[in-house]
Structure 1
């Protein structure tokens, strides 16, 4: 369906409507989709035949193009690892895993289509870019067998499995304080989600306990999904340095994407990491061990989160458990080569 949608220049939900003979699209669009499907050798299985060969299945549902979750989300390191563990757990429990993605631009229309066509037993929703209102709307429409992964809103009667963002960022802040940093900077995502807000609170709490604060001039903001150096960050740092001010001796970044991008940007500006500026990230994606120096970061237990989400969903399906759960998985701090004591402390 994704291939046909790309070839026809329409959304995946439009392809679904065309293949299922439903209203909601023009006759021209329907004819184009069906013609491309025929040319591509696609033949839809009759529903009766599909029912006969049905196996237990779960759906992994993603809302893309939000500034955090890209259309090619399966290529983003954090989500790639998460999906791998979810697939393994589903297989071990006798379930197949189906994938569905929805463009945020067509939220209302595609949720309606999903509600009509969904034939899986339950849904794991990647919810880190969704608001409480959107999650509740999805839950009400797609049924009771839903687990939201990588987000948590305590006020909603929905299953959630998330990481302990506060704890992880607190660990990062405590580390920088322990090794002697007092002038500390913060690079935030310019796209805000619940996870980043919780990390900000945790990091600030660690500094506050040591009597430290982050100077407003030491706060920068960049795109959160680029692993390359960013021209915007380069401009911010250049302007800061040209004003005659000293850079902070350490910087915390809200995710590893930002941290790796920051390290590359600093290097291009002739600033050495960690000799001049220590850098700490969050997530421990596989790329954090490839970059030089290796990135000090917060390890997220992706495997544990994935297993809990699958198990919680299957329990809901097979045992009819009605009480919802909120599960937060603690983090682990990983010290590598991108952080060290500031020069004065080292001397």
Structure 2
């Protein structure tokens, strides 16, 4: 059986033997994209050389991005972060392998179990037990947008409490006093923190009693997932007096609330003002366009790749990086 040579790899990729040599020996002179193609092909074709371990080189340049199954079709947020991670990873000389996981039936991805990666970035909710399992293979684990307060690992999170507070404060500046909140706070710790921020802002400005706060949380997330605006429309009808404005836990909630309000004969923002969270792509194309809060997803990606690069190459200690959101004002609060 003949051995694979650099010439074989070069012919397969239609490049020079010199380019193959530079890539295999991890030297400058070829693009990162081409380097990865050469390394992957070398491993696939069984290229072997005593002074070279292509698998080892490939491993040191590979990051696994794990995304919760529920976020698989979330092209407006999580998949947008994924695309930005790939761009940033290329700048730092890494490739990204994406894997999807289930909270209910968690299985270690093969690229991790076979130790083909240098680090892991997790997008979405994850449990303590799952972190323990992943730590058997690498200590280079970074959680994005979700944290476990009692686990000392690396996180990049949004200051959701501040986000809820800023949303409410923005509506107050617009002249609103009677402000409600909409979002299923039991479905996400991020949602709950946004609610706490809204509530604290109301307490600081108006000193309301608990029963005076208007918030709609029960069954909202399921209604949003099912695009069931009629459920929300009926829930809104239970209020004797509608608020002047609503802080919504995210843009999807805000969009369906606007639809429900319009069904009930209200105009946004003339009768009721609405603010969302996340600045999803559709929020600027709605009628009315949606005011929202954002932590720039490109910044999230930049911070994530920079942090995991430090974890891989330096002697670091666990760190939590908290990013502050900012308001993007559009028609729904004007």
TM-score by length of 2: 0.76
Aligned counterparts, 1:240-279, within 5 A: 240=238, 245-279=240-274
Cα distance in 1 between the residues matched to 2:212 and 2:232: 16
Deviation digits for residues 102-157 of structure 1, max 9, x if unmatched?
122312xx138565234121111113x234x2453244234211111112334322
| 1:183 maps to 2:178 | yes
Matching residue of 1:9? none
Q: 1:112 to 1:228 in 2, by over 3 A?
A: closer
Q: Deviations over 1:263-282 (max 9, x none)?
A: 12211222111111111111
**Structure 1 residues 336, 216: closer, same or farther in 2, change over 3 A?**
same
Partner secondary structure for residue 223 of structure 1: helix
Find the residue that maps to 1:72 and give its secondary structure: coil
2:105 alignment counterpart: 106
1:328 paired to 2:322: yes
- Equivalence map 1:40-55=2 (5 Å): 48=46, 52=54, 55=58
Per-residue deviation, 1:223? 1.5
Structure 1 CA distance, aligned partners of 2:282 and 2:320?
Answer: 30
Q: Secondary structure at the match of 1:59?
A: strand
Query: Counterparts of 1:68-79 in structure 2 under 5 Å?
Result: 69=71, 71-73=72-74, 75=75, 77-79=76-78
Tell me, in whole angstroms, the C-alpha distance in 1 between the residues paired with 2:103 and 2:92. Answer: 31
Count of residues in correspondence between the two structures: 281
Deviation at 1:229, TM superposition (A): 5.1
Larger radius of gyration: 2
By how many angstroms is 1:227 displaced? 8.8
Larger mean CA deviation between 88-97 and 188-197 belongs to 188-197
Map of 2:96 onto structure 1: 97
Partner Cα separation in structure 2 for residue 61 and residue 146 of structure 1: 10
Tell me, what secondary structure is at the counterpart of 2:242? coil
Q: Is there any run of 5+ residues in structure 1 with no aligned partner, and where?
A: 1-44, 341-347
Report the CA distance shift for 1:311/1:218 in structure 2 as closer, same or farther (over 3 A): same
Query: Counterparts in 2 of 1:205-216, with a 5 A limit?
Result: 205-213=200-208, 215=211
Q: Distance in 1 between matches of 2:98 and 2:228?
A: 32
Long gaps (5+) in structure 2: 1-42
Instruction: Say which of 199, 203, 215 aligns to 1:204.
Output: 199
Q: How do 1:100-249 residues align onto structure 2 when only pairs under 5 Å count? A: 100-107=99-106, 110-111=107-108, 115-127=112-124, 129-131=125-127, 133-134=128-129, 136-189=131-184, 191-213=186-208, 215=211, 218-221=214-217, 222-223=220-221, 226=225, 228=227, 230-238=229-237, 240=238, 245-249=240-244
CA RMSD in angstroms, aligned pairs only = 2.5
